[in-house]
Amino acid sequence: MNENLKTMHTKAQWTNLDSEQVLRVEKSGKIDRFDENTMVLIEEDQPFHNGMIEVKMRSRLLPGAPDFARGFIGIVFRAKPDGSEFESYYVRPANGNHPDPVRRAHGSQYFSYPGYTFSYFREFGIEGYEAPVNIQLDEWITLKAVIIDEKASFFVGDMEHPVLEVADLKHGANARGAVGFYVDTGTEAFFKDWKTSRF
């Protein structure tokens, strides 16, 4: 594993998939807790504030994954080095083409750690932080995030318009920190071709 990758409650290794080297990530801690700091951070000299994050990612369900597993996979940004605060966007590929419209509506999620988890938003009926997205398990998904101050736009695939727009990132317009990859329970995650640009 590259020395500039820092795992948190995850294990990560380079592996060969379809004849190319990709980063494989799996959650290894906080297994029974959700929307936690289970991630891999890319350690860079300059913290990320405003800019664009691009990555290709692919998720499978691990053997023995619980019934609620959805292939949770995504990104984190503006993460503190100790993982105590960050913003995140992830997708649930198992929901993407599900026949249940409620499942489809929960295709992707913004959350902010700590505190503003998917369960918090749902418990209090706070809308605007989830969106459907046409994806599925075990396929490469292209994700692009555009972050400017307190606003974020998340694009999936070759979509011209964002899947989800967030106008009030919970850590505010001035937050800075690392960029990285997010996984949750039951996911075998793969990442490749990532790049970060700053505005």
pLDDT in tens, 32-82: 888 899 999 999 989 999 999 999 999 999 999 988 999 999 999 999 999
Q: What is the pLDDT of residues 113-168, one digit of tens each?
A: 999 988 899 899 899 999 999 999 999 999 999 999 999 999 999 889 999 999 99
Q: What is the pLDDT of residues 156-180, one digit of tens each?
A: 998 899 999 999 999 999 999 999 9
Phi-psi region of 83 (alpha: psi -120 to 50; beta: other; left: phi over 0): left
Domains held by the chain: number: 1
What is the extent of the structural domain holding 194?
5-198
| Nearest alpha-carbon partner for 2 in 27, 20, 22, 16 | 22
CATH number of the domain residue 14 falls in: 2.60.120.560
C-alpha atoms less than 13 angstroms from C-alpha of 159 in its C-beta half-sphere? 18
Q: CB count, 10 Å around CB of 37?
A: 24
Supply the pTM of this predicted model.
0.94
